[in-house]
Amino acid sequence: MICTTYFSLFIAFFNCATGKDLCNGSKKKDAIEIAGTFLHEFVHARIFEHLYHLNYTTNLFVPSDVWKNFVQSNYPGLPITESHHQIMAQAFVNDIASALHELNGGEGNPSDYLIFAWQGLEKAFTDEQKAKFKFIPDFELLRNNYNQNVKDKGPLTDYNCD
């Protein structure tokens, strides 16, 4: 479980310290979107940590049998996938959405935050895989849910880039 107080403070500090860099683009960014990016990157770090303990410093050169064993032992029940993003999509999106919900003071429902939990994962699957894996959502619907139920609500909105 993620400690909400720690991450709320962390996000507030990060925004104050580097907010101009994060907000300097042409796209308005919600603090929730930025927090989702951090959580996404933490999951990458966790997967790399698992691989590091198998004496691999990157999964780019992990032999297929080692990768298969890695996925089966660390993510039992998941089909053997090809990338971190595929593992994230199957094993972590709901946890990321729940953490974002908690970070934003419980505003709305955890499912309202799935758009940011899925951000960066939608292109991890081929068209053939998208047809096979029914858990891949309708991204327009996710965006609409967020906009209708959560956008500009909750304590994190104080840190949005305007």
Instruction: Round to whole Å and give the CA distance between 9 and 76.
Output: 34
- Tokens representing 125 are 């699957």
In a domain, 1, yes or no: no
pTM of the complete model: 0.73
In a domain, 104, yes or no: yes
- What is the pLDDT, as a whole number, of residue 1? 35
- What is the pLDDT, as a whole number, of residue 57? 63
In a domain, 4, yes or no: no
In a domain, 103, yes or no: yes
- What is the pLDDT, as a whole number, of residue 20? 44
74, 54 contact by CB (below 8 A) = no
Residue 81 pLDDT class (50, 70, 90 cuts)? low
In a domain, 20, yes or no: no
> Within 10 A of 88 (CB to CB), how many other CB atoms are there?
24
How many domains, in total, are found in the chain?
1
Domain of 130? Answer: 31-159
In a domain, 6, yes or no: no
Instruction: Round to whole Å and give the CA distance between 57 and 51.
Output: 7
- What is the pLDDT, as a whole number, of residue 116? 92
Q: What is the mean pLDDT of the chain?
A: 75
In a domain, 93, yes or no: yes
Does the structure show a pLDDT above 50 at 145?
Answer: yes
Does the structure show a pLDDT above 60 at 143?
Answer: yes
In a domain, 89, yes or no: yes
